[in-house]
Structure 1
Amino acid sequence: MYHKKVCLLIGDLPVTYASAYCLFGTVGVVGYYLIKGCDALRIKLSLSGLARKTLPRDHYHQLSGLIYAMLKEANPSFSEWLHDRGFEDNSKQFKFFCFSRLITHPSEVQYLGEKKSEVHFITDNAALYISSPVREFLENLVSFLLTRSEIRLAGQLLRIESALALGKQHFSESEAFKAVTPIILTKKVEEHTTPFYIRAYQTPEEFDDYLTRNAREKWRIYSGKQSDDLTLKCDKQYLQRKGRSTACKIQIMPQEVMIGSIVPVTVTGSPEEVEFMYDVGLGQKNSFGMGMIEKIGIRY
């Protein structure tokens, strides 16, 4: 029998459950306690089976599909509702989850192709971080993880070595974050038939304005409360140093290229609002992995 480790972290003490529990019909209890017990809202998956395999460099679309597939197996109705509708208000619609790319040390991958559009893994292992403020989302994800030891990503079979529910962090009224994945913001411009991507290095004040408006809209739909205090500001000194290199292109689909910004952002508001932004991600396209953040100083 294969025992996949599913771990949670309470303070500095790791607690491990084996997937064998699900054979005794307690997966719901264990899955619930995994989230409820430590109040964790971010999960780290340790995956293996990547050595000598090649994926699209920007494999966010594939990861998004994987997450929906995991949710569908655990709870088809929730997965369908989240995919088709989600949290909405008039024309605004949010999924309220985000995730990282597959993370390894830079020396353990090679980028292939004329435009370096593919990533070839030298290492066998990588980590995937998934975050959401929605408890039902994470409970369904954990239910899947407790019953499966393998996943399929872009046609490649990978093994789930462990799933770690990261301990809840404490937030003050102002926190500085780094961007784990690019932050996407768009606006409508008359001379453009498609949305125009706002680059932080070009118009940092406008970037802050749109980023703050997006954050307040998410908070309003999630909590039902308005917030005039929630404010987001990118690091202007960082932009002066790094300039154009903070902008990056992301090939989400074969015919869809997005432009994002990799820049530190300070989130100011109530501790509850700051925590919400950490869990949900900044800017647009969070359900495609965009806008995941982490406290500065914490390495992935």
Structure 2
Amino acid sequence: MRFKLILIIDRNTKGDRIPLNYQYAASSLIYRILSNSGSEFSSWLHENGFQDDQRRFKLFTFSRLFMPRYSIEGPYLKILSNTVEWYISFLPDRSTQEFVQGLFREQSFELGDRRANIRFRVQSVEMLPSPVFTETMVFETLSPACIVRQEDDGSEKYISPDHPDATDIVRLNLLNKYRAFYGHDFPEERFPFYLRALTKPRSSLIAIKEGTPQESKIRGFMCRFELTAPLELVKIMYETGLGSKNSQGFGMSEDATNR
């Protein structure tokens, strides 16, 4: 279930700049807004089968901020427009529309860090219709897709969607998401599954917890891609994102089949 938020910048309260690496702050903000709802949050988790394993709550993703006008000033992003668009997507359907719209409607929040911070006010929250899912679809990334290959020494390597290993890694990732959400393995063992980059992937290196001892770097890729998979797995990819680290703002994609 996908939502489009229109955010108004409150220029009288804070500034008009945020760090270029704002993904961690945005992810923390979503968790904070959801968790602060108290009993509503608990009910939502329960109705969507999350009561015993709240790790499934991470099955969401979000886009980059889309702004009509902006400039880059060193490590900061200066927003010149009065509004921005932001997309958030959740895998659960049951009760999610009312829950999310109620939480974000007329919400005010700050995004950024001590160096650069903007206060936003939610002007509107719109639930977007889902595309007509088919077993082969074309998508365009709205935030960098992070595909992680586990190395023999235990380290992680970030690979591009056009890497020869990407298809198998994404397939396993979606099967794991299916099992986490439904509580059982995908019913089919063998099925057609292909990931094909249609444009040259553009690399994006993003700092998480920037400026702290816990800082780390995650590499993702922006591109248009084609996915062939069973309908349920295509839907999970659309709702939760392509690849890993989706709840940190990676892998959100939109339907581009007819474009």
2:243 aligned with 1:286, yes or no? no
Alpha-carbon contact 1:216-1:230 (below 8 Å) kept: no
- Structure number, greater radius of gyration: 1
C-alpha deviation, 1:200, in angstroms: 3.4
Tell me the number of residue pairs that the alignment of Structure 1 and Structure 2 aligns.
238
User: Structure 1-normalised TM-score?
Assistant: 0.70
**Corresponding position of 1:249:** 205
Q: Report the secondary structure of 2:239's partner residue.
A: helix
User: Structure 2-normalised TM-score?
Assistant: 0.80
2:36 aligned with 1:73, yes or no? yes
2:223 aligned with 1:263, yes or no? yes
C-alpha deviation, 1:185, in angstroms: 1.7
Q: Specify which of 158, 161, 169 is matched with residue 197 of structure 1.
A: 158
**Corresponding position of 2:91:** 133
Structure 2 residue identity aligned to 1:159: R
**In the aligned structure 1, how far is the partner of 2:104 from the partner of 2:79?**
24
**Corresponding position of 2:145:** 183
Counting helix residues as a fraction of each chain, which structure ranks higher?
A: 1
Structure 1 residue identity aligned to 2:235: E
**Corresponding position of 2:171:** 212
- Percent identity of paired positions between Structure 1 and Structure 2: 24
Q: Which has the higher contact order (CA 8 A, sep 6+)?
A: 2
Alpha-carbon contact 2:243-2:251 (below 8 Å) kept: yes
Q: Which runs of 5+ in 2 are unaligned?
A: none
2:116 aligned with 1:158, yes or no? no
Mean Cα deviation higher: 175-184 or 154-163: 154-163
Q: Report the secondary structure of 1:266's partner residue.
A: strand
**Corresponding position of 2:79:** 121
**Corresponding position of 1:42:** 2
Q: Report the secondary structure of 2:164's partner residue.
A: helix
**In the aligned structure 2, how far is the partner of 1:234 from the partner of 1:247?**
16
**Corresponding position of 1:97:** 60
**Corresponding position of 1:18:** none
Alpha-carbon contact 1:233-1:265 (below 8 Å) kept: yes
Q: Which runs of 5+ in 1 are unaligned?
A: 1-40, 89-93
Aligned ranges 1:233-244 → 2 under 5 Å: 233-235=195-197, 238=199, 242=200
When residues 298 and 50 of structure 1 are mapped into structure 2, their CA distance, relative to the original with a 3 A threshold, is: farther
**Corresponding position of 1:23:** none
Structure 1 residue identity aligned to 2:24: H
Deviations 1:51-95 (A, max 9, x none): 66111112111111111121122236649998xx6346xxxxx71
2:105 aligned with 1:109, yes or no? no
Deviations 1:147-170 (A, max 9, x none): x44222225321111111112321
Alpha-carbon contact 2:175-2:185 (below 8 Å) kept: no
Deviations 1:159-195 (A, max 9, x none): 111111112321112111111111112223245x642
Structure 2 residue identity aligned to 1:179: T
